[in-house]
């Protein structure tokens, strides 16, 4: 009888331990975007899904609109465990993770569909392994469209049009090198500072996708948007590596299933928002110009690639894998 009782207690203990220590505290999630933005919707969906699938044992509270700090600060907080989940652009992660920095090479992707084929395949696996070494697990790849130039004075149609302009960029030497190669003056600064800097002419222009341009009202202070589409950098749904490692196999399955559903939702929401944002800014007077021939911009990037590969010869194979992915 005692043996049966002990066995019953042991089985109960195993059942209680099916959800790991990592699930006992509410996770904090970071996101720079505003309410209604595709990433915001998708992250809240992820939180709902893990709670539902785990019967309330996995919980996540998301903090949107960058209220917990800037993107570089939040990346560091995710790495050390101050945050457990976050959605980031892979651009600012590049200086920390060499493999991810390859994605910041201008014009490395042909279009967003090409980017997804790379990131959903072998290229994404290589980048995720690099991120894990720095304390971050890539759970899903969110769409962030293509980044193009915008400013308050003129349409940009050829590389020479950028000459002498002060352009805000994210904090990454590759972006600064890109602007310098076009003859402009790069100005790295926090995303939250861009609107006021454009308004007060601290910078002449910036670069981003239509939804970010529209949702932050940058179109009010920079009404020329030129479709250079020089960068196609995805955003990620990421988790702290130690938190992930502490999850049970069942919990990891839940997290990955929820991330897959969240990613599908984000990409669908992005496709709709990208079109809607362009329509909104054009209706409000923004002059959007196509750049039919981008070869001049692409040729100007040859020194950027040469400098990068000289400093990172071990990443040449990853660059070639991306370029050769059909």
Q: What is the pLDDT of residues 77-111, one digit of tens each?
A: 999 999 999 999 998 899 999 999 999 999 999 99
Query: What's the domain count of the chain?
Result: 2
- Kindly indicate the confidence band of residue 13, based on its pLDDT and cuts at 50, 70 and 90: very low
* Residues 39, 49 within the same domain: yes
Q: Kindly give the pairing relationship between strand 205-208 and strand 60-63.
A: unpaired
Interatomic CA distance for residues 136 and 35, integer angstroms? 25
| Environment class of 305 (CB within 10 Å of its CB; exposed 0-12, middle 13-18, buried 19+) | middle
Instruction: Write out the residue range of the structural domain in which residue 92 sits.
Output: 23-143+233-275
Residues 173, 301 within the same domain: yes
Q: Do 83 and 132 belong to one domain? A: yes
Whether 16 is covered by a domain: the verdict is no
Residues 74 and 135 in one domain: yes
Alpha helix (H) ranges present in 58-162? 71-80, 90-93, 98-101, 112-119, 122-133
CA-to-CA distance for 86 and 236, rounded, in angstroms?
Answer: 8
Beta partners for residue 150, in sequence order? 206, 225
Please report whether residue 240 resides in a domain. Answer: yes
Q: Within this chain, do residues 315 and 214 fall inside the same structural domain, yes or no?
A: yes
- Model confidence over 260-312: pLDDT tens digits? 999 999 999 999 999 999 999 999 999 999 999 999 999 999 999 999 999 99
Task: Give the pLDDT of residue 24.
Answer: 58
Strands (E), 143-201: 147-151, 166-169, 185-188
Q: Is residue 212 part of a domain?
A: yes
In sequence order, what DSSP letters do the residues of 171-186 get, joined into one string? S-HHHHHHHHHTT-EE
Q: Within this chain, do residues 30 and 114 fall inside the same structural domain, yes or no?
A: yes
Whether 322 and 108 have beta carbons less than 8 Å apart is answered as: yes
Kindly report the CATH number assigned to the domain that includes residue 139: 3.40.190.170
Residue 57 shares a structural domain with residue 200? no
Half-sphere exposure (Cβ direction) of 19: Cα atoms closer than 13 Å:
15
State the pairing for strand pair 205-208/185-188.
Answer: unpaired
Residues in contact with 70: Cβ distance below 8 Å, sequence separation at least 6, in sequence order: 190, 191, 192
Average pLDDT, the chain: 92
* Spacing of C-alpha 82 from chain mean position: 19
| pLDDT score recorded for residue 103 | 96
pLDDT in tens, 67-82: 999 999 999 999 999 9
Q: Which residue has the higher pLDDT, 185 or 190?
A: 185
Same-domain check for residues 225 and 244: no
Please answer whether residues 243 and 84 qualify as being in contact, where contact means their C-beta atoms are separated by less than 8 angstroms.
yes
State yes or no: pLDDT of 17 exceeds 90: no
Question: Exposed (0-12), middle (13-18) or buried (19+): which is 234, by Cβ within 10 Å?
Answer: buried
Residues 294 and 190 placed together within one structural domain of the fold: yes
β-pair type (147-151, 224-231): antiparallel
Torsion angles phi and psi, residue 276, rounded to 5: -65, -40
Any domain includes 114: yes
Task: Provide the pLDDT for residue 12.
Answer: 38
The answer on pLDDT for 21 being more than 50 is no
Q: Does 47 share its domain with 77? A: yes
Is residue 1, in this structure, part of any structural domain at all?
A: no
Q: How far is it, in rounded angstroms, from Cα 241 to Cα 99?
A: 17
Residue 62 forms part of a structural domain: yes
- Gap between the Cα atoms of 161 and 84, Å rounded: 43
pLDDT band at 32 (very low <50, low <70, confident <90, very high): very high
Pair (126, 203) in one structural domain: no
115-156 residue pLDDT tens: 999 999 999 999 999 999 999 999 999 999 999 999 999 999
Give a yes or no: residue 9 inside a domain. no
Determine, yes or no, domain membership for 5: no
Average pLDDT over residues 195-213: 97
Q: pLDDT band at 8, cuts 50/70/90?
A: very low
pLDDT confidence bin for 1, thresholds 50/70/90: very low
DSSP-derived 3-state class of residue 108: coil
Residue 171 pLDDT class (50, 70, 90 cuts): confident
Q: Which pLDDT score, from 0 to 100, does residue 20 have?
A: 52
| Euclidean distance between CA atoms 66 and 297, whole angstroms | 32
Instruction: Say if residue 181 is in the same domain as residue 46.
Output: no
> Can you give the length of the chain in residues?
326
């Amino acid at each position: 009888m005692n043996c049966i009782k002990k066995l019953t207690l042991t089985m109960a203990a195993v059942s209680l331990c099916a959800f790991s220590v990592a699930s006992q505290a509410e996770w904090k999630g970071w996101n720079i975007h505003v309410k209604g933005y595709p990433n915001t919707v998708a992250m809240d969906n992820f939180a709902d899904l893990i709670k539902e699938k785990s019967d309330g044992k996995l919980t996540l509270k998301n903090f949107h609109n960058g209220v917990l700090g800037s993107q570089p600060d939040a990346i560091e907080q995710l790495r050390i465990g101050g945050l457990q989940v976050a959605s980031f652009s892979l651009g600012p992660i590049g200086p920390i993770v060499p493999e991810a920095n390859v994605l910041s090479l201008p014009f490395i992707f042909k279009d967003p569909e090409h980017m997804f084929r790379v990131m959903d395949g072998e290229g994404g696996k290589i980048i995720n392994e690099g991120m894990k070494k720095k304390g971050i697990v890539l759970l899903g790849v969110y769409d962030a469209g293509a980044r193009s130039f915008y400013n308050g004075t003129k349409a940009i149609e050829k590389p020479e049009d950028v000459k002498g302009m002060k352009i805000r960029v994210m904090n990454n030497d590759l972006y600064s090198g890109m602007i310098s190669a076009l003859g402009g003056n790069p100005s790295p600064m926090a995303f939250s500072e861009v609107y006021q800097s454009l308004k007060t002419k601290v910078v002449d222009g910036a670069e981003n996708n239509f939804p970010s341009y529209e949702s932050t009202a940058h179109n009010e202070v920079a009404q020329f948007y030129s479709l250079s589409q020089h960068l196609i950098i995805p955003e990620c749904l990421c988790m702290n590596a130690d938190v992930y490692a502490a999850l049970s196999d069942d919990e990891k399955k839940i997290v990955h299933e929820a991330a897959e559903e969240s990613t599908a939702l984000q990409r669908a929401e992005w496709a709709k928002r990208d079109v809607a944002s362009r329509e909104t800014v054009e209706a409000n007077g923004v002059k959007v110009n196509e750049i039919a021939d981008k070869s001049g911009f692409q040729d100007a990037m040859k020194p950027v690639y040469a400098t990068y590969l000289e400093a990172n010869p071990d990443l040449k194979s990853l660059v070639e894998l991306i370029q050769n992915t059909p």
